[in-house]
A and B are shown apart, each in its own frame.
Chain A
Amino acid sequence: MIEPCVSSAEPRFQLDYPINESDFLAAGESASKTKKALQQLGLKPEVVKNSAIIVYEAAMNIVIHATSGRLKVIIVRDEVVIRAEDTGPGIPDIELAMQEGYSTAPHEIREMGFGAGMGLANMKHCSDELIVESEPGVGTILEARIHLGQKESPREIR
């Protein structure tokens, strides 16, 4: 399993959301709250947008595919780190799951518009670095990192 990214440095900013199976509303709100909070910190629109998309996709994956989990959004040094941990069935073949179009979403979930098999691909596209580790039958840890870029350490932590 991946070492927690925060072990080496104290996070200056942190959001923490519990995410539970079938709670679409809370998962959606975790993304809009993240967007708002990062906007208020004065991060670049691109960074805010990418972070919110990753949070949304990661939260929905927990809601749809896992049992329960937590989602953290942290700013450490010059990065936004989004870490999603869940208890659930895990992903037996991560490479396959990363492929656009691959989905195991059941019929009733697809009817709601999920299950394009694009979530992980979207997260990869929106991050500078994406690590997924999973143990079948136990759960999944996903960590995405987005560089803040030059000249834009957030206002409050400069």
Chain B
Amino acid sequence: MASISTSIPLIRFQSNSFKLTNKFKRQILATGLDFRPEIRLLNCNFSYFNKKYRKKERDFVFRVCCSSSEDSDNKFVGNEVEKEKDIVELEKPVGKLQETVDSIAPILFGMKKHISTNVAVGLCLAIAFVVISIREYLIRKSRSNHHGSVEDLVKRGQLRSDRRGISRPLKYDDPFNNPLVKVSKSNSTVEMCGKVYRLAPVTLTEREQSNHQKRRSRAYQWKRPTIFLKEGDSIPPDVDPDTVRWIPANHPFATTVNDIDEDLAQSNVYQKRGVPFRIKAEHEALQKKLETLQNEQKLSKLVIDPGSVKDFERPFKSFSSHETQDGNDSTPKPDGSVNSSESTTSFDELQKP
């Protein structure tokens, strides 16, 4: 019953609110719907409440739209009552009830004391609505503002659509709680990728886990080898034989011979910038060769100017090159690739005549 009668003010507003913009109408409908449960609760003096509520709504409409005077308000109300009567006649089953509603109506119209509170409520609702609509607008705007995204690169064929993932906001998608994973209410089944599976809880306890650990520590006693030796080698004096791992001499993937010593390998790994050790060594060897050649042929005029060499090598300088370089400043030792190509060209020129 209650729901039928409350639907009437909604109808009325739809027919009457020609002055309202779409948005306002929507807002009113929304508030009307919000009130519905309350009305159902107050079943006893339902008709009274209904009128009061209706009046509240109307006041709100007028404050928002044109802030009309009181008498126009009343006229408007009269109009509405008539219209409502028409509606009531159409709806026979609720006719009786609506008649009582209308008979109480004029009494209620005299109650002006609610108006001040109604103004406040209306104002609050209006402000809230304006804020909400502005927020909505801003969100829509930012959402549609996607020009120049990676999507465009895909459209232009610069990026393969299946090879990109970086721009997907799926980044923080919870894999336990996404649309493809649905757990049933009883937690006994789960639906994944369209298939339903039965679930069983994991029963492993801490004690079982530690029992397994104990069993394993009895079964497998092991000390991780820390040194690898080729089969046939002798064990170094300070090494615990238990920690030696013997590698067959013909092991397909492993070798125990290192052409580089441990400290150097470590510093190679830790090197952050500069020319890698091996490359530098090769350049230095080449440079040495060139120098000896130059000394032999006594062509001192074609020696590269040491000053310019210094300029080139600065960016390539690294910690290990300093020791070799500090001793003899007089002889140039370029180690950059630019220098080496330059020196080889000069070397070619030397050979020509």
The answer on A and B forming one complex is no
Q: Which residues of A contact B (CB under 8 A)?
A: none
Q: Which residues of B contact A (CB under 8 A)?
A: none
